[in-house]
Every structure is written in structure tokens, then in C-alpha cells.
């Protein structure tokens, strides 16, 4: 069979099944069946075997552990301490709680690697508080969802770990590369909040005294050490990404169980179950997506596509934009992790063809996919925030669009100026480049 | 029958919780042994963690079939009547059942290859890990059969019995 025939059957079947509302993971597996049954050179066991191979990777263990760490932080009330600190630092600005929402997302992102845990944890605390103070529900939901995408851009990041593991890119390098875009997005979101606050006359919180700030900082200090332990540990070679994720779990357990005494043995099974369940669903999707990706690669579909695109003679910038658009488009429909497997491997030869640095390619992908977390129809962070804010997803879309526009400008900056993301890894750990 | 399926579902939830807790142990041992030397450097830690992980994924996928929490994409308008909802859900569940049967059939072939292998580090017979695939297929078949019956009742106009909701 030719690459064209194979991709038409597989992609066609996948799209039809997804539109019919078959779960993405099952649709990916089902789309492989016709080819596996028709092609004589392949045995149907390939599907199971490829799934097994994708799971049998130590690096992916970091996914459930980082989810668990984030859920433990939420259960242990650490998120509340971060909120108190952010309120003391930026609560007095116009649209105070909006800024608190953004700042706390940035702090939380440095501790957790999951945007969904960020949206769920921070949203459950701040969405009711913001609505009570008179913020529009749509803005409240939009700012919570948009700021939570930093969870996967600021290290540690589950998406980066999957990317690094799949495409053999240094995870330490990816983590360092994510810091600058993450901080830039924070400032962008705070700027957007300021404009919203002026136009819609949102309330201004009371300014905290220096003493109050110091007290809030003291309460959150132990949690704030986490990013240094995790990122520092990986970057300087003390432990692997998977080990770092377990350290994050143990540290949250010590903080919540022994120091703050806010999490008991009774709450633990629920947190363990919820983390494992969510990780199981996400990773099951990785398995079928891997088999799907493997089958496409077997019939040299990625190469055919890369050849086709190479025929356009696009330069590095045009290629970067093309890659971003592809990830933004796929991110609207499927989860980031299967998107990396399906699309990342296809676009890799294209990026290599124009001499794009692997970290640059990765950051364009990660930032684009992070935006996919708030774009309908399948934006998990938007879905979580909308359900917490008890508003329909469509009602928040206008504000989401207004906030996303300046965030897209950051993506364009990342495409245009690779040095923006490469200088930090080059400075701190040149061996990653 | 429903009670049996419900009990099995609860049992899977307990196993998933325990496995998640257990998975922390080998990786912690690995870090402690490397950095402190108070315990020997076991070579099986990574492998045992990986095997727990594979079971977590497969059991998570089983539970999510019954809970209706596998990720899906909502592109079409919601069905106008319960009957139409029943028809839509029936198509989805039949499609999922097709993969479930495929998994069961070829998962058994896959598991048989595990029977003649032992793992490199821990010496565990690989059947213990490979068997999670056909078992997932079998469990999906059971959970989906329950759902298909519910869909059928909905199409025929009976009220939907108590049970886990399908995803919104």
C-alpha cells in the first residue's frame, strides 16, 4: 500500500470515529485495525506489541508521579498558601484577584508538571472568590484556564518529559528552555488582566503590609523550594526526571503529612486513586497513539509528508509557523500527549530539514500544545475551569480569545527568536545543546 | 449481574489505588541507595516500577470504560431525544467493543509469548505483565456489554437504570 492510501484509511477512520464520539484512545486503536488485517506483512499482534513497547519506558513513570505530586499539593492546602502569598504580592493591583490567579499559576507550575491539576486546584479556590468579588464569570473562567497552561510550559512539565522521552531530547534542556516563555506569558496575562480590570472596572484589593507579605512568604517558603529541588536536581544530574517526580511526591507528602499536618491517611487513598486514574487514561491514549504513529511510520507516511512540505521550500521561520499551526490545530481536538506522538514524529524530519534546533522545535510544539488546553472543542483546562465556574464553555470563549491573542504573540516570538529559549540552557548547562 | 459488575469495578479501584502507592517504593529505594548507600543498589527497582505502571495504565483504562471517562471530543449537537442518545451511545459502545474483542483475541497471543520469557533484572515471568492486555480486553467486553444493554433499553424507551453516567 502507498503512504497516501494508508494515511487516507487511518486518518479517515480516526476522524469519523472521533466525530461519532468514540473516545480518542479507542479511535486511534480502531483506525489501525483495517491496515493490520489487510496488510500481509504485518500481524495484528503489532497493535498490542507497540503499546507494550511505549509503556515499557521508565521515563513515562514521571507522568503519574507529577500528577500525584500536584494532587497532593492541592489536598495538603499548599495551593492555598501560594494563593495567600500571591494575594500579598499582587492583590493590590487593579483586578487584584485576576493577578493573584496568574501569579499563583506561575508558582504552582514551578512545582507541578500538570496544567489540569493547576486548573482544578487553583480554580476551585479562586473561581468562587473572584465571582464573589464581582468579576464576570467568563473572565474568571478564562483567566483561570489560560493561566493554567503555564503548568506545562514552566518546568517541571509532563508534556516536556514525554517529548524528551519520545524524541530523545534532553529533558533538563527542555526544562531550562521553558522558563523564559513561561515568565513572558505570566507578564502577558497580567497585562491582559490590567486592561480587563480598567475596561470592566474590576475591584482593587487592599495593599498588604511588608510584614503581611513576609508572613505569607514564610508560610509558602517550603513549597517554593520544590522547583529548585526538581529542576536543579535534573539539570545538575543528581537524579533523572522520573526520580525527580518521586522526590516531588515524597516532598509533598512530608510537607502535607508531617510539617503542615494538613493531609491525613484518610485522604491519601482518594488522592492516589484520582492521580492513577487520570494517568491511566492519558497514558492509555499514548499507547494507541504510539501504535498509530508506528503504523504511519512503517508505511513511510511521515517521510512522504516531509517531502511534500520540503517541496514548498519554506525557510526556518515559515517552517516554524507551519509546525505551530499544525500543533495548534491538532491540540484543538486531541490531548497533548497523543498529539506529540502522532504529529511530533511526523514533523521532526521537517524541522531537521531546515536546521531547526531540537529544543527550538520542542518549545514551538510544547507552547502550541499548551494553548490547545484552552481551545474548544477539546480544551481540558477550559472544560475544568468552566465546570468549576458553572458556566457553559461557549460563554467563556470570547474572553478566552481576547486573552489568547497576546499569548499567541509570545508563540510568534518563540518562533522568530530561537535565542530567547536557547540562551538559558546555553548559559546554565551547555552540555544539553 | 449488575451487583457483580459493580463489585468488580470497586475491586479494580482498590487495586489501582494500591498499585499507585506501591509504585513509589521501588523508585524511592533507587534514589536512596544511590545517594546514601544505606541500602544495597537493587537492580530490580526500575523494572518493578515499570511493571506496576503498565498495570496502572491497563486497570485505569478498564475503570474509565465503565465510568465513561476516556477522553472524547464533543463536535456534534447533543441528541434531541433519549432514544437518539441511546442510538448514538450504542454506535460508540459497539465500536469500542470491536477493539475490546480484538484486544482479547490478540492479547492472548501476545500473553502466550510472555509465558516463555522472564524479565532481565527481577526474573519475573513476563506472563504476569503481558496478561494485563487480554485482561483489559476481557474487562472492556464485560463493561461494554453492560453499557450496550443500557443503550438498548434507552432506545426501546425504558428508563435508564441506575449506574455510572457516561461522560457529558
For residues A429 and A254, give the distance between their C-alpha atoms in angstroms, rounded to a whole number: 30
Q: How far is B157 from chain A (nearest CA, A)?
A: 22
Contact A33 B102 (CB under 8 A): yes
Cα(A33)–Cα(A292) distance, rounded to whole angstroms?
Answer: 10
**Contact at CB, A277 and B64, closer than 8 angstroms:** yes
Q: Which residue has the higher pLDDT, B9 or A289?
A: B9
Residue B64 has a pLDDT of: 95
Q: Are the Cβ atoms of A269 and B130 closer than 8 angstroms?
A: no
Shortest CA distance from A63: residue in chain B: B53
Query: How far B86 CA lies from chain A's nearest CA (Å)?
Result: 13
pLDDT value at residue A154: 94
Nearby residues of A395 by Cβ (< 8 Å), 6 or more positions away: A137, A138, A386
Tell me the chain B residues in contact with residue A278 when contact means C-beta distances shorter than 8 Å.
60
- Alpha carbon of A138 to those of A131, A144, A279, B76, B161: distances in Å? 10, 10, 29, 23, 36
Residues with Cβ within 8 Å of residue A322, at least 6 apart in sequence: A309, A314, A350
Q: To the nearest whole number, what is the mean pLDDT of chain A?
A: 89
Q: Cβ contacts of residue B116 below 8 Å, gap of 6+?
A: none
Looking up cell 536557547 gives A422
Q: Quick one: pLDDT at residue B159?
A: 53
Contacts of A24 in chain B (CB under 8 A): 70-73
B91 touches chain A (CB under 8 A): yes
Give the per-residue pLDDT at A238. 86
Cell of residue A319, nine digits: 517552517
Instruction: List, for residues A206-247, the tens digit of each pLDDT value.
Output: 888 999 999 999 999 988 888 888 888 888 888 888 888 899
Question: Rounded distance, CA A380 to CA B105, Å?
Answer: 33
- Give the containing element (helix H, strand E) for B81: none
Compute the distance between CA of residue B46 and CA of residue B53 in angstroms, rounded to an integer: 11
pLDDT tens digit sequence for B24-51 = 999 999 888 888 878 887 778 888 899 9
Residue A331 pLDDT > 50: yes
Residue A268 pLDDT > 90: yes
- The A residues from 376 to 415 touching B (CB cutoff 8 Å) are 377-378, 380
Say if the Cβ atoms of B20 and A377 lie within 8 Å: no
Residue B163 has pLDDT above 70, yes or no: no
- Which of A49-58, A292-301, B10-19 is the most confident on average? B10-19
The verdict on whether omega for the bond into residue A331 sits within 30 degrees of 0, i.e. cis, is no
Nearest CB among A27, A242, A280 relative to B64 is that of: A280
Q: 3-class secondary structure for chain A?
A: CCHHHHHHHHHHHHHHHHHCCCCHHHHHHHHHHHHHHHCCCCCCHHHHHHHHHHHCCHHHHHHHHHHHHHHHHHHCCHHHHHHHHHHHHHCCCECHHHHHHHHHHHHHHHHCCCHHHHHHHHHHHHHHHHHHCCCCHHHHHHHHHHHHCHHHHCCCCHHHHHHHHHHCCCHHHHHHHHHHHHHHHHHHHHHHHHHHHHHHCCCECCCCCHHHHHHHHHHHHHHHCHHHHHHHHHHCCCCCHHHHHHHHHHHHHHHHHHHCCCCCCCCHHHHHHHHHHHHHHHHHHHHHHHHHHHHHHHCCHHHHHHHHHHCCCCCHHHHHHHHHHHHHHHHCCCCHHHHHHHHHHHHHHHHHHCCCCHHHHHHHHHHHHHHHHHCCCCCHHHHHHHHHCCCCHHHHHHHHHHHHHHHHHHHHHHHHCCHHHHHHHHHHCHHHC
Between positions 97 and 116 of B, the ones with CB within 8 A of A are 98-99, 102-103, 105-107, 109-110
Q: Is the confidence at residue A304, as pLDDT, over 50?
A: yes
CB nearest to B60's CB, from A20, A56, A280: A280
Residue B160 confidence (pLDDT) above 60: no
Give the residue, A184 or A118, on which the prediction is more confident: A184
Q: What is the pLDDT of residues B93-104, one digit of tens each?
A: 999 999 999 999
Q: How far apart are CA B49 and CA A159, in angstroms?
A: 21
* Contact residues, A window 253-292, toward B, CB-based 8 Å cutoff: 268-269, 272-273, 275-285, 287
Most confidently predicted of A51-65, A70-84, A378-392, B140-154? B140-154
At B116 the pLDDT is 85
% of chain A exceeding 70 in pLDDT: 100
* Residue B158 confidence class, pLDDT cut points 50, 70, 90: low
Chain A CB contacts of B58 under 8 Å are: 280, 284
Nearest to A361 by CA among A370, A349, A374: A349
Query: Looking at CA atoms only, how far is residue B12 from chain A in angstroms?
Result: 10
Q: Would you call B71 and A334 a contact, using CB atoms and an 8 Å cutoff?
A: yes
Estimate the crossing angle of helix B2-36 against helix B45-67, to 10 degrees.
150
- Select from B17, B31, B61 the Cβ nearest to the Cβ of A247: B31
Q: Which three cell numbers stand for residue A408?
A: 499567541
Q: Which chain B residues contact residue A384 at CB under 8 A?
A: none
What value does the mean pLDDT take over residues A67-73? 88
Residue A192 pLDDT > 80: yes
Kindly tell me if the per-residue pLDDT of A266 is higher than 60: yes
Query: What are the cell numbers at A214?
Result: 513576609
Q: Do A21 and B75 touch (CB under 8 A)?
A: yes
Nearby residues of A310 by Cβ (< 8 Å), 6 or more positions away: A350, A353
A201 CB neighbour count, 10 Å cutoff: 11
Amino acid at each position: 500500500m502507498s503512504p497516501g492510501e494508508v494515511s487516507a484509511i487511518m486518518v479517515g477512520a480516526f476522524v469519523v470515529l472521533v466525530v461519532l464520539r468514540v473516545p480518542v484512545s479507542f479511535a486511534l486503536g480502531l483506525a489501525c485495525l483495517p491496515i493490520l488485517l489487510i496488510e500481509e506483512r504485518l500481524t495484528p499482534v503489532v497493535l498490542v506489541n507497540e503499546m507494550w513497547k511505549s509503556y515499557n519506558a521508565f521515563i513515562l513513570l514521571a507522568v503519574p508521579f507529577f500528577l500525584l505530586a500536584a494532587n497532593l499539593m492541592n489536598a495538603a492546602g499548599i495551593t492555598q498558601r501560594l494563593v495567600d502569598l500571591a494575594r500579598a504580592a499582587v492583590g493590590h493591583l487593579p483586578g487584584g484577584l485576576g493577578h493573584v490567579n496568574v501569579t499563583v499559576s506561575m508558582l504552582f507550575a514551578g512545582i507541578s508538571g500538570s496544567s489540569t491539576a493547576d486548573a482544578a486546584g487553583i480554580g476551585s479556590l479562586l473561581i468562587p472568590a473572584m465571582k464573589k468579588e464581582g468579576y464576570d464569570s467568563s473572565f474568571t473562567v478564562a483567566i483561570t484556564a489560560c493561566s493554567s497552561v503555564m503548568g506545562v510550559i514552566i518546568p517541571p512539565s509532563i508534556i516536556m518529559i514525554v517529548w524528551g522521552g519520545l524524541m530523545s531530547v534532553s529533558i533538563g534542556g527542555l526544562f531550562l528552555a521553558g522558563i523564559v516563555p513561561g515568565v513572558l506569558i505570566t507578564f502577558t496575562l497580567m497585562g491582559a488582566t490590567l486592561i480587563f480590570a480598567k475596561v470592566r472596572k474590576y475591584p482593587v484589593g487592599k495593599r498588604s503590609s511588608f510584614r503581611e507579605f513576609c508572613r505569607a512568604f514564610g508560610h509558602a517558603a517550603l513549597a517554593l523550594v520544590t522547583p529548585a529541588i526538581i529542576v536543579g536536581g535534573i539539570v545538575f544530574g543528581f537524579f533523572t526526571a522520573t526520580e525527580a517526580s518521586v522526590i516531588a511526591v515524597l516532598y509533598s507528602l512530608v510537607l502535607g503529612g508531617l510539617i503542615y499536618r494538613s493531609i491525613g491517611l484518610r485522604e491519601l487513598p482518594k488522592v492516589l486513586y484520582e492521580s492513577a486514574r487520570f494517568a491511566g487514561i492519558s497514558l492509555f491514549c499514548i499507547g494507541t497513539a504510539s501504535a498509530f504513529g508506528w503504523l504511519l511510520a512503517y508505511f513511510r507516511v511521515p517521510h512522504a509528508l516531509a517531502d511534500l512540505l520540503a517541496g514548498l521550500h519554506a525557510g526556518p521561520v515559515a517552517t516554524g509557523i507551519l509546525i505551530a499551526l499544525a500543533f495548534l490545530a491538532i491540540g484543538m481536538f486531541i490531548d497533548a500527549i497523543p498529539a506529540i506522538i502522532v504529529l511530533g514524529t511526523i514533523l521532526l524530519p521537517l524541522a531537521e530539514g531546515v536546521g531547526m534546533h531540537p529544543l527550538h522545535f520542542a518549545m514551538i510544539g510544547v507552547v502550541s500544545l499548551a494553548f490547545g488546553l484552552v481551545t474548544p472543542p477539546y480544551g481540558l483546562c477550559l472544560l475544568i475551569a468552566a465546570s468549576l465556574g458553572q458556566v457553559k464553555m461557549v460563554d467563556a470563549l470570547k474572553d478566552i480569545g481576547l486573552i489568547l491573542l497576546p499569548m499567541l504573540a509570545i508563540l510568534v516570538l518563540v518562533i522568530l527568536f530561537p535565542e530567547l529559549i536557547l540562551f538559558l540552557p546555553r548559559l546554565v548547562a551547555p552540555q544539553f545543546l | 449481574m449488575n451487583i457483580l459488575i459493580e463489585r468488580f469495578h470497586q475491586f479494580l479501584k482498590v487495586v489501582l489505588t494500591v498499585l499507585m502507592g506501591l509504585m513509589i517504593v521501588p523508585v524511592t529505594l533507587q534514589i536512596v541507595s544511590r545517594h546514601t548507600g544505606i541500602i544495597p543498589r537493587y537492580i530490580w527497582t526500575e523494572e518493578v516500577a515499570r511493571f506496576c505502571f503498565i498495570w496502572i495504565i491497563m486497570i485505569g483504562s478498564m475503570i474509565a470504560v465503565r465510568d465513561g471517562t476516556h477522553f472524547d471530543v464533543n463536535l456534534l449537537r447533543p441528541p434531541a431525544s433519549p432514544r437518539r442518545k441511546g442510538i448514538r451511545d450504542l454506535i460508540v459502545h459497539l465500536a469500542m467493543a470491536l477493539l475490546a474483542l480484538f484486544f482479547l483475541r490478540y492479547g492472548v497471543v501476545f500473553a502466550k509469548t510472555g509465558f516463555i520469557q522472564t524479565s532481565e533484572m527481577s526474573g519475573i515471568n513476563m506472563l504476569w505483565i503481558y496478561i494485563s492486555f487480554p485482561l483489559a480486553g476481557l474487562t472492556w467486553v464485560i463493561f461494554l456489554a453492560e453499557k450496550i444493554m443500557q443503550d438498548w433499553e434507552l432506545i426501546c424507551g425504558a428508563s435508564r437504570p441506575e449506574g455510572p453516567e457516561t461522560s457529558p
